[in-house]
Amino acid sequence: MSNISPITRRQALAALTAPAWAAPNASQKAASGGKPPNILLILADDLAAWMLGCYGNKEIRTPNIDRLAGSGVRFHNHFVVTPICSASRATLFTGRVPRQHGIHDFLTANPVPQPPQGQKEPPASFAGETMISDLLAAKGYQCGYVGKWHMGNDANPGHGYQHTYTMGGGSSRYQDPAMFLNGKPVQEKGYLTELMTWQAAQFLDRQNGAKPFFLTVSYFNPHTPYDGHPQKYYDLYANTNFETIGWEPAAPHALREKNLLTDTVGNLRKCAASTTALDDQIPVLLQKLRQRGLADNTLVIFTGDNGFLLGRHGLWSKGLASDPINMYEEVMQVPMLMHWPGKLPVQATRPELVSYYDFLPTVCEAAGADVPASGNLYGRSYLPLAMGKPPEKKKPWPSYVFGHFRNTEMARDSRHKLVWRNNGAGPNELFDLRTDPMEKRNEYENPQFLTVRDRMAQQLAQWRKKST
């Protein structure tokens, strides 16, 4: 058990928040001068881009995440490959897709056979996957991981991490959780989200700038269960009716967590409370960077592991919210915010389609690490885009992103989306997102879209071949 009482811990964290958004000093405005940057990755669980104010949400309060977006670069079209947690995280950290790394679904001791939901464990080969942390540790980075892992070996993630504080499996209670600290079980007292922030702060306190660090803070918020958060967050939404969220009555094909649709507004209030509780951790982490003199050369990245529906399309959760699997925009698009003083512009947005499989090359370029030559990686670094550089004329940025979840694949360009199931046997979908952004009209059998459909199916086949 931690020897810091919950009250003392909370007071210490609160003391960090007040000046977190102070204007950067002259040294913070300067470029890093070629020194490898520190990298702080903040990863949220079940957080869609559309749930944040900086992506247009008017009712869920995320002022600190919105400020982070304004202090750097926001990618408007950032997609996961797989709209489920374990498989998506594996792609984020390896740059490889499910058919390559072998995690196809969320990990659980009790998978469901029909329709398939969950995967009991990663394949034995997954232990040999090369992750970002392996590459950065080899470059001299101090690597720490705090929070949800959910890719097997939760107590001891390995992969070059010198400090870990992790949950067991994919779920936890928010009050008094059981955790693992550097592989040893600890029974904690207090609020899980603040405990994670505290452990992240402890890791940062040990950094002196002599070596760069790579720290992932993988929050459980806003994942279910929706109870266990401090009452003040529930109070914020006691009178919010979520009239602009766009939720609908339960769909006939609703599957996973359908029960949450019996009181959609009530559960929206609870999920919003969890999201705002997450939001309150951001200034604590940023202020700790400033307090330790680390902010000048730290690349801060904020994202989510998959999107979420929250009643849109009459579904609650993510890709497994329905049978068949869905790949709606809400579950595929997650935030990508990047903040790096002196290196990245502020109040900037990028329109390019970027993917989770692009993340490893991007971090490698920022850190000066080589991308593994043997991984058959499909992705490409979008760091030049974040820096405001135009795409290379000789090598334009790809106009497609792709998805893969069990028997379902996706190809998406700037206007259309093809959802391809059972190797083309269907049921398949084609949406014109420009005229039908809520994906209500399936144009797959529409003769007017035949050319588009065939072109996208060909692109998907090429991606499948390249990423095998």
Residue 22 confidence (pLDDT): 38
Task: Catalogue all structural domains in the chain, each as residue range(s) with its CATH number.
Answer: 34-391 (3.40.720.10), 407-468 (3.30.1120)
Residue 18 confidence (pLDDT): 45
Residue 373 confidence (pLDDT): 87
| Run of H or E including 92 | helix 85-94
The dihedral sign for the CA sequence 447, 451, 452, 455: positive
Residue 374 confidence (pLDDT): 85
What are the φ/ψ torsions at residue 167 (nearest 5 degrees)? Answer: -80, 160
pTM: 0.95
User: What parts of the chain have a pLDDT lower than 70?
Assistant: 1-33
Residue 12 confidence (pLDDT): 58
Residue 375 confidence (pLDDT): 86
310 and 268 in contact (C-beta within 8 Å)? yes
Which residue(s) pair with 178 in the sheet? 187
CA distance 252 to 318: 16
Residue 17 confidence (pLDDT): 52
Buried b (16+ CB within 10 A) or exposed e, 215-237: bbbbbbbbbbebebbbeebbebb
84 and 91 in contact (C-beta within 8 Å)? no
pLDDT digits (tens, 9 = 90+) for 339-381: 999 999 999 999 999 999 999 999 999 999 999 988 899 999 9
What SS3 state is found at 196?
helix
pLDDT digits (tens, 9 = 90+) for 435-460: 999 999 999 999 999 999 999 999 99
